[in-house]
Structure 1
Amino acid sequence: MTLISEFYGQFYGFMELWPVRRKCKHDPDLFCYICGCFTTSKQGLLYKHFQNYQTENRLIKQITFLSLMRNLTLFTEDPETSYPTQDAAWDRFEKIFMALSGLITYAPVFKDYVYQGLKELYKDNIMYLELRVGQSKAYELDGTTHDRAWSLEVYRNITEQFRSNHPDFIGSRLIFSVHRSLGVSQVKQAVQEAIEMQRKYPDIVAGFDLVGREDTGGSIWYFRDALSLPSEIKTQLSFFFHAGETDLDGTDVDRNVLDALLFNTSRIGHGFALVHHPLAKQLSKTRGVAVELCPISNQVLKLVSDLRNHPAAVLMSDGHPIVVSSDDPTLFGTTGLSYDFYQVFVGIGGLSANLGTLKELAMNSIRYSSLSPQLQDEALTVWKEKWNKFVADNS
């Protein structure tokens, strides 16, 4: 079974793949989920690869890396040609998500993926994160799948393992997310599951969100019956809605920012259209509903080309609460948060941005998190110690 696992890691980027359930030739009672493009016959690429594979072959390594970059990220030397429209960029963006899902939900890979993600974020001086997780379930090579509770236990255990090795790391929490292309009944079922998981794992489940392109997916109002479930059964479920990730104006899409506030969202993801709705802008500021600002994502998906024209500049000048998010950094060819912080500081903050701007943005990440007030205070204490050391070391 190591063969199949290694195969995914080496060749996934070369072409469109789809899983096929086949009998394992080594064990007739076992089924394997493998790529439908390859065979293990002497004519198959998989066979040829493992007959001739040399670990130290630099050419193979380089080809593999370039293939992965080409097929599993949006990175390109000429974005204007590769993605001439928002439709083209989004089509590529969502296809990559679909392709990656089968890779990272293989149970052993999933565990390594979570730990490696924490390592990369910690290396970028990130002390705490809130991660949106989808509906895909982890699977084994024999075709069995694990339920949601299994995945949550993995997140919890690996986070605790990571904290034991990195005592200044505060932790992570998860936001259940479903794609807005689903039907109302499916979203309602997902909301019910999120409620149940939050009851069982209140320490790691932060809330619920709808993800996917707003221009083509269902609006928050479209899913109102599903999203009303927590209040109907008199229970709590925090919302962290993607809302206003669009340059449309006067449609149900940009009005998502209003509906998000009607459902008492804790934060607004992207909020690109928020400035078009003065009432929603004022209401979110008064309530302390922060906008999750994702500058690189907004550029890649063609909402804005010059960040000096990003509507968040208006929000920053008005003192609206803002936190910086990297959205999907791996798909954009970046890591961590530093790149997005730089873009916000230089492009959106303008000439008036200074060291205090960076300090405020970093502190906002804790202030507007889903952590309890007590844990926020503890996190801010740790962060301030690190900040003071950073300033002292660079003065």
Structure 2
Amino acid sequence: MVFWGEDETVRCLEQPFNVEVKCGEGGGGEVPLLKGMLAFFNNTDSAPEGFRLPEDLRREEGGEGVEFKRELRSLLVSDSSLKGMDSGEAWEFFNKIFVRVGPAMAYRNFYEAYLRNTFDVHREDNVQHVEVRALCGNNGLGDLWDFGGKVHRGGEVIDVYRRALREYQESVDSDFTMKLIVSSLRVLDEKTIEEDVEEAVGLWQQNGDIIMGFDLVAEEDPNHRTLDYLDVWVKLKEWEEREGEVLPLFFHDGESNDRNNTNVFDAVMLGCKRIGHGTNLYYFPVLYDAIKEKGTVIEVNPISNQILRYVDNLELHPVNGFLAEGFNVVIAADDPGAFGYAGLSWDWWASLLAFQLNVKSLKTLARGSLLHSGLEGVELNRALEVWEGNWQQWVAGRVEVLNRGGGGEGGD
């Protein structure tokens, strides 16, 4: 069902999805109901006031409900209205999309279907390996639910990912692979993050075949700095020294235009294997030698960076400097569905044009995506073997096209 009441009303949802859902601390807080919010219910009688069946809304409009679908899409996908916004305003719109789709995404059956669709979209886009930041923590973060009242959390959520991948490998493509980065939110307090890191460590130890590390996500500038959780990282390092294990970190840091945002310092000092975004890294050249020495990888999300107003002109994206410095760089897509596109090709196309990449650069970046992934050992070797075969096939196809153009009648 879809909430189709006032554009922004606020109401406490006491049991919106037939499972116990606390609204803020002690159950007395408020959860925003935004127009366009999607959710599943046992029946229409169990839905809070304002939720309507999409087919009813289409029927009321008549025909195919084109206007309803257009308005719903405008609430779930960014559009040109973001062009005149600054980063804070764009994030405000962006965050509302997550609020609107969150209830539906928490329904296990729907989420499994979403994962299968994700695999299909990327495979059709010639992506053979995906890495997903999976919210998973205490206080209900990342939990999934069933209509029977069953709530899946922690390892059970990881099992949902594992099952979806296994079924896809068995039925569609045995060489398609996925890894997870268990994630929490930097909007949360230090105590909660400490608990979530402990949760991530346990999940990683029990599911090392699919979980590759830990991250903190959400908008950086108005929320907690990485340094605000210093005691958490100190305790993590103490645990690592005692146990002889190291939980890999993949922090979203430096997604900012603020030279006072020094999260990239902490990412480097904490030994992050990859830094998500890192757009303000150019303010801190003192880190460059350490990044090259450690082999730290910079994840670049060009379309997201532009839509969220961190880079107005992609030709001036800081990654050009990072590539010139010899940094390890990977090109990724950041929440493309919320930005109105699917897969990875659009980010690569934007990079090809804006960064003036040649074939050698494309090959280096594409192969590097696997070398800097969470794949290891036999899995990595197989992935590289599959990729090399696909690359050679692609090159042969381009050569054939060129030869036809050069050797055929009228060609030059």
Farther off after superposition, 65-74 or 383-392: 65-74
The answer to whether the aligner puts 1:174 opposite 2:180 as a matched pair is: yes
Choose from 289, 292, 302 the match for 1:295: 302
The code of the aligned residue for 1:80 comes to K
- Is contact 2:78-2:339 (8 Å) kept? yes
Matched residues in 2 for 1:317 and 1:51: separation?
A: 53
Matched residues in 1 for 2:130 and 2:105: separation?
A: 19
TM-aligned CA deviation for residue 206 of structure 1: 0.9
Matched residues in 1 for 2:5 and 2:172: separation?
A: 33
Choose from 326, 330, 341 the match for 2:337: 330
Choose from 77, 82, 94 the match for 1:79: 82
Query: Equivalent residue for 1:271?
Result: 278
Matched residues in 2 for 1:113 and 1:13: separation?
A: 26
The code of the aligned residue for 1:182 comes to L
Matched residues in 1 for 2:369 and 2:4: separation?
A: 35
TM-aligned CA deviation for residue 169 of structure 1: 3.1
TM-aligned CA deviation for residue 236 of structure 1: 2.3
Query: Equivalent residue for 2:192?
Result: 186
TM-aligned CA deviation for residue 75 of structure 1: 2.1
The answer to whether the aligner puts 1:88 opposite 2:89 as a matched pair is: yes
Query: Equivalent residue for 2:229?
Result: 223
Say which SS state the counterpart of residue 228 (structure 2) adopts: coil
Summarize the Cα distance change of 1:89–1:52 in structure 2 as closer, same or farther, 3 Å threshold. Answer: closer
TM-aligned CA deviation for residue 52 of structure 1: 4.8
The answer to whether the aligner puts 1:21 opposite 2:15 as a matched pair is: yes
Say which SS state the counterpart of residue 206 (structure 1) adopts: strand
Choose from 146, 165, 172 the match for 2:152: 146
The code of the aligned residue for 2:195 comes to Q
Q: Map 1:1-395 onto structure 2 (within 5 A).
A: 7-8=1-2, 15-16=7-8, 19=13, 21=15, 35-38=47-50, 46=53, 49=56, 52=59, 58-60=63-65, 62-76=66-80, 78-81=81-84, 84-134=85-135, 135-141=141-147, 143-167=149-173, 169-234=175-240, 235-249=245-259, 251=260, 253=261, 255-347=262-354, 349-350=355-356, 353-395=357-399
Gaps of 5+ in 2: 19-41, 136-140, 400-412
- Is contact 1:33-1:143 (8 Å) kept? no
The code of the aligned residue for 1:205 comes to I
- Is contact 2:125-2:344 (8 Å) kept? yes
Matched residues in 1 for 2:111 and 2:394: separation?
A: 34
Farther off after superposition, 192-201 or 167-176: 167-176
Say which SS state the counterpart of residue 192 (structure 2) adopts: helix
TM-score with structure 2 setting the length: 0.82
Matched residues in 2 for 1:174 and 1:331: separation?
A: 20
For residues 253-274 of structure 1, what are the alpha-carbon distances to aligned partners after superposition, in whole Å with 9 as ceiling and x for unaligned?
A: 2x11111111110101001011
For residues 79-134 of structure 1, what are the alpha-carbon distances to aligned partners after superposition, in whole Å with 9 as ceiling and x for unaligned?
A: 334xx221110111112112211111111111111111111111111100110011
Farther off after superposition, 142-151 or 118-127: 142-151
TM-aligned CA deviation for residue 229 of structure 1: 3.1
Summarize the Cα distance change of 1:163–1:291 in structure 2 as closer, same or farther, 3 Å threshold. Answer: same
TM-score with structure 1 setting the length: 0.85
Aligned sequence identity (%)? 27
For residues 122-177 of structure 1, what are the alpha-carbon distances to aligned partners after superposition, in whole Å with 9 as ceiling and x for unaligned?
A: 11111001100113200123554212211111111110111123335331011111
- Is contact 2:330-2:365 (8 Å) kept? yes
- Is contact 2:175-2:383 (8 Å) kept? no
Say which SS state the counterpart of residue 144 (structure 2) adopts: coil
The code of the aligned residue for 2:15 comes to R
The code of the aligned residue for 1:175 comes to I
The two structures, once aligned, show a CA RMSD in angstroms of: 2.6
For residues 307-366 of structure 1, what are the alpha-carbon distances to aligned partners after superposition, in whole Å with 9 as ceiling and x for unaligned?
A: 11111111112221100110110011111110001111111x22xx21111111111110
The code of the aligned residue for 1:233 comes to W
Summarize the Cα distance change of 1:117–1:245 in structure 2 as closer, same or farther, 3 Å threshold. Answer: same
For residues 268-306 of structure 1, what are the alpha-carbon distances to aligned partners after superposition, in whole Å with 9 as ceiling and x for unaligned?
A: 100101121112122112211110000001101101111
- Is contact 1:107-1:138 (8 Å) kept? yes
TM-aligned CA deviation for residue 230 of structure 1: 2.9
- Is contact 1:326-1:340 (8 Å) kept? yes
Summarize the Cα distance change of 1:391–1:49 in structure 2 as closer, same or farther, 3 Å threshold. Answer: same
Summarize the Cα distance change of 1:271–1:51 in structure 2 as closer, same or farther, 3 Å threshold. Answer: closer
TM-aligned CA deviation for residue 48 of structure 1: 9.1
The code of the aligned residue for 1:238 comes to P
Say which SS state the counterpart of residue 273 (structure 1) adopts: helix
Matched residues in 1 for 2:55 and 2:177: separation?
A: 44
Matched residues in 2 for 1:122 and 1:181: separation?
A: 34
- Is contact 1:127-1:171 (8 Å) kept? yes
